[in-house]
Amino acid sequence: MIDIKFLRENPEAVKENIKKKFQDDKLPLVDEVIELDAKSRATQQEADDIRSNRNKISKEIGALMAQGKKEEAEALKAKVAANAERLATLEADETELSEKIRKIMLTIPNIIDPSVPIGKDDTENVEITRYGDPVVPDFEIPYHTEIMERFNGIDMDAAGRVAGNGFYYLMGDIARLHSAVLAYARDFMIDRGFKYCIPPFMIRSAVVDGVMSFAEMDAMMYKIEGEDLYLIGTSEHSMIGKFIDQLIPEEQLPQTLTSYSPCFRKEKGAHGIEERGVYRIHQFEKQEMIVVCKPEESPMWFDKLWQNTVDLFRSMDIPVRTIECCSGDLADLKVKSYDVEAWSPRQQKYFEVGSCSNLGDAQARRLRIKIKGENGEKYFAHTLNNTVVAPPRMLIAFLENNLRADGSVAIPEVLRPYMGGKEVLIPEK
């Protein structure tokens, strides 16, 4: 959510930003919110005038009564009563106008960074850099669920009977590998100075409204029936929510946290054949990182965050690349975003394994997260988030890149302490 003052003073800049995001249907909202804002400020001014005059008139009534001027005092009492009625109407109007303005402001996209490439959708995203040499082996690489089945490591049929489509059982060495990757990612981020955290796995609607758009919420979140709670789709939601209504002293910044959580997603809509298996599912686990910082530091932290993910994957010898999301592919709250993609030898292409986002002060403004400066100044923080690793997709990249011709899977050195010292996984089938 952008600053209403900025919109009021720079309506054409806001409209141009909407055009860059190819959301021309939202252009009329700028003029609508300016009109509502003018009405709101006029209403507030009139209400303030009535409130400020109320005490003055009360004193006048007392003085007139003391002087025996009862008729004049009664006339002023009638005026007070009329003003009270008018004030009640104005206060109701203030509340209604404020809610209308907020509702519109929640749908107007954040101002994107000038460096963001302009494009309509993800087909116009831009590759930034590649890390590691992608290799295509001289033997056939099976689909990832087939690799897992050779280790008796997955049972999607049983999961379907228990929970339906979009779920899985992981077992044996594959389940252990899943946990090993999460444990390694946790320690990797702790070693980089991030504080480890396990957050709530459910959040209230006020937090949902603060961290994402309604369209995102509707497509992702599971609502707990009968309660004001949602299952988190990713832990950055509850991690950023941790700071709701907080005034953070400057000296306590930046807040750098890495969190583990399960994630629950509806994943609405049909997906291609490459998204069967464990690529796109309703439940998975993830290691995340978030930063709350001063505005001038967020570009620096953005670069640090996506580099952490690149370094993690490269430490396991998995080739990756970074992709900058174009304007039309940015969610409305985002200022700038990179995707990290891992190499798939089977598909001979890269696929997304993580996403890094700078949200500017959009989430902080919605959640009222402010910083208190040394001089007492108060201003909104900036928030950022990035995927450290999400093992379902990471497992796909890991298994494909470490598969050997004989069907065994090599364990990189960094993961061996988390796998009981194993250097290789031997298939059971």
Residues 263 and 370 in one domain: yes
Structure confidence by residue, pLDDT tens digits, 131-154: 999 999 999 999 999 999 999 999
State the pLDDT confidence band at 271, using cuts at 50, 70 and 90. low
For residue 378, the tally of other CB atoms under 10 A from its CB is 9
Residues 130 and 63 in one domain: no
Residue 28 within a domain = yes
Residues 258 and 326 in one domain: yes
State the pLDDT confidence band at 253, using cuts at 50, 70 and 90. very high
**Mean pLDDT score of the chain, rounded to an integer?**
92
Which of 48, 73, 105 lies at the terminal end of a domain, its last residue?
Answer: 105
Residues 96 and 131 in one domain: no
Is residue 273 pLDDT above 50, yes or no? no
What local confidence, expressed as pLDDT, does residue 74 receive? 66
Residue 111 within a domain = no
What local confidence, expressed as pLDDT, does residue 392 receive? 85
Which range (258-272, 282-296, 333-347, 412-426) has the least confidence?
A: 258-272
Is residue 118 pLDDT above 90, yes or no? yes
Is residue 72 pLDDT above 80, yes or no? no
CA–CA distance, 304 with 301 (Å, rounded to integer): 5
Which of 39, 71, 105 lies at the terminal end of a domain, its last residue?
Answer: 105
Residue 97 within a domain = yes
Residue 117 within a domain = no
Residues 194 and 68 in one domain: no
Q: Strands 283-293 and 382-389, how do they pair? A: antiparallel
What local confidence, expressed as pLDDT, does residue 158 receive? 95
Residue 222 within a domain = yes
Residue 198 within a domain = yes
Which of 79, 105, 131 lies at the terminal end of a domain, its last residue?
Answer: 105
Number of domains into which the chain is organized: 2
Radius of gyration of the CA atoms of the chain, in A:
28
Residue 66's domain is classified under what CATH number? 1.10.287.40
Max CA separation in the chain (angstroms): 108
Highest mean pLDDT range out of 212-226, 266-280, 392-406?
Answer: 392-406
Which range (19-23, 39-43, 80-84) has the least confidence?
A: 80-84
Is residue 223 pLDDT above 80, yes or no? yes
For residue 12, the tally of other CB atoms under 10 A from its CB is 8
Residues 98 and 170 in one domain: no
What local confidence, expressed as pLDDT, does residue 268 receive? 61
Residues 58 and 130 in one domain: no
What local confidence, expressed as pLDDT, does residue 50 receive? 82
Q: Which residue has the higher pLDDT, 59 or 310?
A: 310
Residue 114 within a domain = no
Highest mean pLDDT range out of 205-209, 241-245, 269-273?
Answer: 241-245
Q: Which residue has the higher pLDDT, 60 or 174?
A: 174
Average pLDDT rounded to a whole number, residues 85-113: 92
Residues 298 and 378 in one domain: yes
Residue 283's domain is classified under what CATH number? 3.30.930.10
CA–CA distance, 83 with 90 (Å, rounded to integer): 10
Residues 395 and 292 in one domain: yes
CA nearest to 354, candidates 324, 388, 311: 388
Is residue 215 pLDDT above 80, yes or no? no
Average pLDDT rounded to a whole number, residues 52-76: 68
Residues 260 and 186 in one domain: yes
Residues 321 and 206 in one domain: yes
Would you call the peptide bond into 299 cis, given omega within 30 degrees of 0 as the criterion?
no
What local confidence, expressed as pLDDT, does residue 217 receive? 78
Residues 151 and 236 in one domain: yes
Is residue 81 pLDDT above 70, yes or no? yes
| Range 83-102 burial, b when 16+ CB lie within 10 A, else e | beeebeebeebbeebeebbe
Is residue 59 pLDDT above 70, yes or no? no
What local confidence, expressed as pLDDT, does residue 357 receive? 97
In which domain, by residue range, is 23 found? Answer: 4-105
Is residue 220 pLDDT above 50, yes or no? yes
Residue 354 within a domain = yes
What local confidence, expressed as pLDDT, does residue 270 receive? 44
What local confidence, expressed as pLDDT, does residue 63 receive? 64
